[in-house]
Structure 1
Amino acid sequence: MPKFPEYDACTSILVGKKASVDGSTMIGRNEDCKATWPKHFVVHPHKEYKEKPVFKAQENAFTMELPTVRGKYTATPEWTNKEGLFEEEGINEYGVAMSATESAYSNSYVLGFDPLVEDGISEASVVTVVLPYVKTAREGVKRLGDIVSKYGSSESNGILFSDQDEVWYFEIGSGHQWVAMRIPDDCYAVVSNRLAIQDIDFDDPDNFMWSEDIIDFVRKNHLNNSNNGSFNFREIFGTRNESDLYYNNPRVWYGQRMFNPEVKQDPESYDLPFVRKPSRLISVQDAKDFLASHYQGTQFDPVGKGSHEDKTRYRPISLAKAQESHVLQIRPNLPIEVGGIHWLSMGVAAQSVFVPFFAGIKDTPLEYKIGKLTYEPKSAYWIFKLAGVLLDPHYNTFVDVVGDVQEKLNIYFQQKINEADIKANDLAPQEVSDFVTKISNECAEYAMDSYRHLSYELISKSTDFSKLNYNTDENL
């Protein structure tokens, strides 16, 4: 098999409200970076300034003025800000969810005409300068588009937006060129480090948005190789190289296999569609299961029963380099404080658990705000990560033990959500935030306590696997 660069970027899922079982919109992503790279989880309060504050990036010279009103929002920053904030995802007080970014790669020919901008906006800054200042998903697309057009982008990226009604996917194809597409209400999309959006309908601004001069840019530089007059963003700006065969395309294939098992496709195909209508409605558990998947049920599962060649052929969706995974669910017919849920899994989703935090929370548990590069037993990241580290050497022996804990927690979480939905109706608006903070913290505490005891059990069960072991006579 060919050798490829050691990429470690993310996998995303987007689900329209009519494609979900309960009318929720959902966006989710695995944030993949390094096998050890702790994340925190925080709430930034609503804040108002007398003068416009100035944002200055840590990772480059990107600088811009911000509005005087910053809405409250949740975020998952890095354990260190030396290379930038990397707040990654959250839900704001206005009911907008955002996840950034799905790293992508533009082809060198396009970049020759509009190169990436060294001091443009980057993944490390994008949530911080967009999410607190928008009141709809569509506004989020417009704000980010205006920033990319004005300041340029230092990376090719995909960004996910949602609110109670709409789900949008935004892609940066070069230094200043971008498009965005509304996911049809009855469809879903999975994305895996390739530019994904296909045909753009410039006569349909309700469902597509784009950089102002993108048509002229493509025409002037003779970038569109279509012979039927279409404008396929993926083909014009994206890649079609050998690493896509093994690193990117199979993850999309597996996601579509989960939600459209009746469709037979080649896992290495370059032409898998961006959006599909699922054969059955998708639940939030389905979205979480996708992000926790690793080709189960196929010969490509790295912890399955296939040949060594098959098990190492494709890059899995959930892998050891995940820092955190999330699903941002916005449920219908509920105030955002209760209807929005920031499902957060610290560490590797396949080994961890998605803990629900309501969008109306005022704060997060202390354990979620601490944790550095060296193991800290009180850090939420390390509590969940430790169980995964103990599972790894004996995966097939202990995976059911971990699965039992995950199932127990998922049942508990749903019961707590049911409780919140009922009781929140009887509370005054000023009481709701305190209540959902309490419920969210109870979920987090129960999850952390369960995983502490899981680690104790895995340590105890592992003691008999020493290489220095021997079948001794117990009578001696």
Structure 2
Amino acid sequence: MLLLVSNAAACTVFAITPGASEDGSMYVGHTNDGVGKDWRNIDDISILYVPAANHAPGEKRAVFFDPDSGSDAAGGEDSGDSGLILGYIDQVPHTYAYYTGSYGMMNEHQLLSAECTEYAKVELSAAEGKRIFYSSELSNVALERCTKAREAVELVGGLIDTYGYYGTGETLVFADPEEAWVIEMCSSLDEEDGGGLWVAQKIPDGEVFVAANEFRIREVVPGNPDPIYSTDLFSKLEDAGVWSPADGTLDWLEAVSYGEYAHPYYSLMRVWRIQDRLAPSLNLSPYVENSYTKAYPFTITPDEKVNLTGAFSLFRDHYEGTGFDLSTGEAAGPFGNPYRYLGPDDAHTNFQNASYMEVRAGANPRPVSAVFCSYSYVAQARSSLPDPVGGVLWFGPAVAYETVYAPFYAGATNVSAAYATGDRLTYDSSTAYWTFDLVTNWAMLRYDAMIDEITAKQGEIEAGSIALVQETDREAAELIAAGDEEGAARLLTDFTVTRGDEIIDEWHDLSGTLIVKYSNGLITDPATEAVEEPGYPAWWLNETGYQYGPRVYPLEELRATDGLNYTGNTVRVPLNATFADIRELI
């Protein structure tokens, strides 16, 4: 019944409601930190625009297997065939246009969505005609058919009840310009049951929700109108022996999950970090007792209202300035590289269950901005504008800290080719993913120097995009008000495609500058031809034994000298000085 480890490497999501944002926008964010093929049978590094469509009576909608679900396909163990159709559902007369990737992102009616994976006690495999839905296709169907967040939650819940659910535990966020909801789901605890389990809860306006690979909904009280859930939730949990009315109020997280993946704080540290950044007045501690802590509330009220660039910044974080700062210390190397290669105990695997917890050899903190990120986005919905204009998907390929978020309008009908293509196994500088991933990896050679140039250019481009969006908003809204919806669609499409291409071109220019300037350990000014040889910082030279290198002929005696620190100072000694004389001076 339990699945093998999924290809998914974890995601972080947030929802910022209009009452918590500076301009009344709804923001939904998602980092897609997976590695592998998704439901489209392509690498999960690109964006897909799905046009609106009309459908004939009697048509069926195929539901595809997702190999990134952690499930074996019904066709065979460890199958990677994402072309497998698990079943069909009745098609509707009209489906809406939307953007999708590994999961649905935003549709033409400003319905937004985001996803993250959770650790469920039971994660059943797909079964044709019995368990046919995973969160990826659920999010796509919702964006095809719904215009409001609650409508999407109710549709997803109904699909799980009717057609079954397979794969890992999952959280989906749905939001429209005015309202946001969270729905969390997992397989039924009985393999013979064809359904699934789910609970949904509304995010209060003025609040911010954060999730990072652990279920966030806790108490579920029958008759309470706030959460909604599968009709047989309580009976299924009672039949499975994981909860009974005698236990008191149902705790959804405790009933269906063992908590975090990989190691303690794999999930909770990211929740703490974003909540603490937004509401430092809460004085939230980064330390908790266990995975079932209630130290971090379901939602928080930010101390200051969040704007768009502030929303971007939530994904650009390596715990800077905290005790977990990945940009400092020996592990960051001489140049403050905040990224860590995944070790044996850093992976997205289970370390605890009902009987034991593995105390592993060690681990690195899991940051919000992870080096294996395939893309991230902040989707924006604005009630003050018509749907085609009000919805903007700010999409950033590759690693969040070094990406540039490009605007994709809800009313556009095409995207830049650079963003719609790409494969991790084939380097292609014309694709958005490799354009940005190259810069991240090149920056690791001398991160502390290059990151300032990267973020300066990033800020310049994003500020330019925000100004251009404001201008395009006005023009497109005027066209719609005048009845020229086709003209508005052309304008929004041209802007979306052109701005995407411009961003790629500007990042190519930056890439070339960084390669020339920082090649071979030097810093070269292409304009003046000045060349610096900065070497390594003194603390790094001291820690790595530079001072014990071949700087005297009595090398063995030098290396036998304890406590010798690198100071950067040079002394002169007579040519016939003894080592004892030299040692006294140095």
TM-score by shorter chain over 0.5: yes
Conservation of the 8 A alpha-carbon contact between 1:104 and 1:193: yes
Hey, what's the Cα distance between the residues in 2 that align with 1:400 and 1:153? 46
Match of 1:291 in 2: 315
Structure 1 residues 366 and 187: alpha-carbon distance in aligned structure 2, compared to 1, 3 A threshold: same
Q: Compute the displacement of 1:174 (Å).
A: 3.1
Amino acid at match of 1:149: D
**1:387 deviation in Å?**
1.4
Moved more, 120-129 or 281-290: 120-129
Provide the residue aligned with 1:300 in structure 2. Answer: 324
* Change over 3 Å in CA distance of 1:416–1:391 after alignment to 2: same
1:247, distance to aligned residue in structure 2 (A): 0.9
SS at match of 1:143: helix
Which residue does the alignment assign to 1:131? Answer: 143
State whether residues 46 and 422 of structure 2, in contact with CA within 8 Å, keep that contact through their aligned partners in structure 1: yes
- Tell me if structure 2 keeps the 8 A contact 1:326–1:343: yes
**Distance in 2, Cα, partners of 1:281 & 1:56:** 40
Contact 1:145–1:211 (Cα < 8 Å) also in 2: yes
Q: Structure 1 residues 306, 178: CA separation in 2 closer, same or farther (over 3 Å shift)?
A: farther
Query: Amino acid of the residue matched to residue 54 of structure 2?
Result: E
Q: How does 1:333-412 map to 2 (within 5 A)?
A: 333-372=384-423, 373-412=425-464
Tell me what 2:352 maps to: none
Aligned runs of 1:22-421 on 2, under 5 Å?
Answer: 22-34=23-35, 39-50=45-56, 51-59=58-66, 60-61=73-74, 62-77=86-101, 86=102, 88-99=103-114, 101-107=115-121, 111=122, 116-119=124-127, 120=131, 121-155=133-167, 156-175=169-188, 176-205=196-225, 207-224=226-243, 229-240=248-259, 243=262, 245-269=264-288, 270-271=293-294, 272-305=296-329, 313-372=364-423, 373-421=425-473
Whole-Å Cα distance in 2 between the matches of residues 438 and 7 of structure 1? 34
Deviations 1:14-54 (A, max 9, x none): 11221111111121110001399552223211111213223
**Which has the higher Rg, Structure 1 or Structure 2?**
2
- The one-letter amino acid paired with 1:360 is G
- Letter of the structure 2 residue corresponding to residue 125 of structure 1: E
Name the SS for the 1:173 alignment partner: strand
> Considering only aligned residues, what root-mean-square deviation do their CA atoms show, in Å?
2.7
Contact 1:41 1:368 in 2 (8 A): yes
Mapped partners of 1:199, 1:228: distance in 2 = 12
The 3-state SS of whatever aligns with 2:187 is: coil
Return the letter of the residue paired with 2:50.
H
Q: Which moved more, 1:375-384 or 1:51-60?
A: 51-60
Q: Percentage identity across aligned positions?
A: 24
Report how far residue 225 of structure 1 moved. 7.7
Question: Cα 1:31–1:142, aligned 2, differ >3 Å: closer, same or farther?
Answer: same
Relative distance call for 1:162 and 1:7 in structure 2 (3 A) is closer
> Normalized against structure 1, the TM-score is what?
0.87
Match of 2:515 among 440, 459, 466: 459
Partner of 1:83: none
| CA–CA separation in structure 2 for the residues paired with 1:19 and 1:318 | 23
Quote the offset at 1:105 in angstroms: 0.8
Q: What is the distance in 1 between the residues matched to 2:49 and 2:473?
A: 21
**Equivalent residues of 1:16, 1:25 under 8 A apart:** yes
Q: 89-98 vs 24-33, which deviates more?
A: 89-98
* Residues 359-399 of structure 1 deviation map (CA, whole Å, 9 limit, x = unaligned): 10010012222222311111122112221121122211200
Q: Secondary structure at the match of 1:325?
A: strand
Q: CA deviation at 1:308?
A: 7.0
Of structures 1 and 2, the one scoring higher in RCO (CA 8 A, sep 6+) is: 1
Contact 2:218/2:253 (<8 A) preserved: yes
Counterpart for residue 474 of structure 1? none
Equivalenced residues, count:
449
Contact map agreement 2:243 2:255 (CA 8 A) in 1:
yes
Gaps of at least 5 residues in structure 2 are 38-42, 67-72, 75-85, 189-195, 341-362, 523-530, 534-586
Alpha-carbon contact 2:199-2:228 (below 8 Å) kept: yes
